Amino acid sequence: MNLLRRLATLLYGTDPGLRRMLHYWAFTAVLYCACAGLVLLQVEHGYTPAPAARTLIRFGVCGVLAFYLLIRLSARLGVAPDRLAVSQAVFSLVCAMWMYAVSGPLRAAPLSMAVVVIAFCMFAARPRQTMLLSLIATAGVGATMWWLQAHDPARFPPETEALTFGYLAAALFSTAVLSGEMHKLRARLKHQKRELTEALGTIRTLATMDELTSLVNRRHMNEVLDAEERRQPHGAGTCVALLDIDFFKQVNDRHGHAAGDAVLRAFAGTARSALRGHDMLARWGGEEFLLLLPDTRPADAENVLARMAERVHAMQVPGLDPGRRISFSAGLVERRPDEPFADAINRADKALYRAKEAGRDRIMVA
């Protein structure tokens, strides 16, 4: 299995864009093989000379292999995907015109491949490139038909060639127009998908983050707590703390809600800067915050809160008196074995209440 995986990586690479181009190449390679088989059947039934068929098949095989190398090395060679697609399309049109010239009474059948080539270009070529290919195909087939009827009018009657050319030109032009419209539709769908992805990202952010403080919101924190309970069902070594900004109502009453919002934003940024990498701070409601400290003993958790308090004390908030110091009270608990986080948070809330009764600006460990 590993050998097959390594072989696939060697042949197709690891880049998704390259793999998609090589998948298209593989499809065209299968189509070339089918056409080669049909040419051999034409030889067997006497419709196509064997030397001409062998030359055509060798030409096709060499072209298919050459385009595999070009696609596989396109990143190193700096060849754009649309240019590769156009080059492959031109090669395919040459093969289709060659098949037309050697297929005798069955010559009208290979012309359908020219239409297939133009239709296939909608996946890689631009609309202008597709229209240009259609014009090249029409001119090439027209020149081939003119040469054949001029040099062998018995086998290629001018009237028949002219009518065949008219049908093919109409089919090629219509296919080019439809391919262009399909390309535009795919471009619109890609744009809409990109917009939808961005909108979903915004919705996901709004669903998990508090818009004012850019902290995790209460809803997402509850999800994190549920996950933490599943990770450590017995609750060993996890602490939680409830924090409340002291005298926050006075800030709103004296300086207005804009100043209060500034305090919340400044507190969130300053408090978060004091945390360790695995700690998580959430806005729990109003001026209240919940701190989760996984795999932490109370002494270490208290050090984190003390560092946070020191930085909050030094914080300057625009719109407030320069001498006004912002502080917070906190209730800290260690989760007990098999204790739901809801019960631990309730104990932290009681500890926070005792911290306020004791004069605020302190950490109460329960």
Write out the two tokens for 339.
């204790």
DSSP label at residue 107: T
Half-sphere exposure of 26 (CA within 13 A, CB side): 10
Closest CA to 38 of 95, 88, 116: 95
Choosing from 161, 228, 287, 334, the catalytic residue is 287
DSSP-assigned beta bridge partners for residue 236: none
Residue 167 C-alpha from the chain's centroid: 43
**Residue 33 corresponds to which amino acid?**
C
DSSP-assigned beta bridge partners for residue 364: 331
Write out the two tokens for 314.
């030094």
Let me know: does 261 contact 269? Beta carbons within 8 Å: no
Q: How many whole angstroms separate alpha carbon 184 and alpha carbon 130? A: 12
**Residue 107 corresponds to which amino acid?**
R
State the CB neighbour count (10 A cutoff) for residue 135. Answer: 13
Closest CA to 119 of 37, 195, 28, 46: 28
Instruction: Give one DSSP letter per residue of 297-334, joined into a string.
Output: -HHHHHHHHHHHHHHHHT---TTS-TTPPP-EEEEEEE
Kindly give, in sequence order, each residue whose CB lies less than 8 Å from that of residue 32, ignoring residues fewer than 6 positions away: 60, 61, 64, 95
Q: How many whole angstroms separate alpha carbon 104 and alpha carbon 50? A: 12
Let me know: does 216 contact 282? Beta carbons within 8 Å: yes
* First-to-final CA distance of the chain: 57
302 is an active site residue: no
Catalytic residues: 287
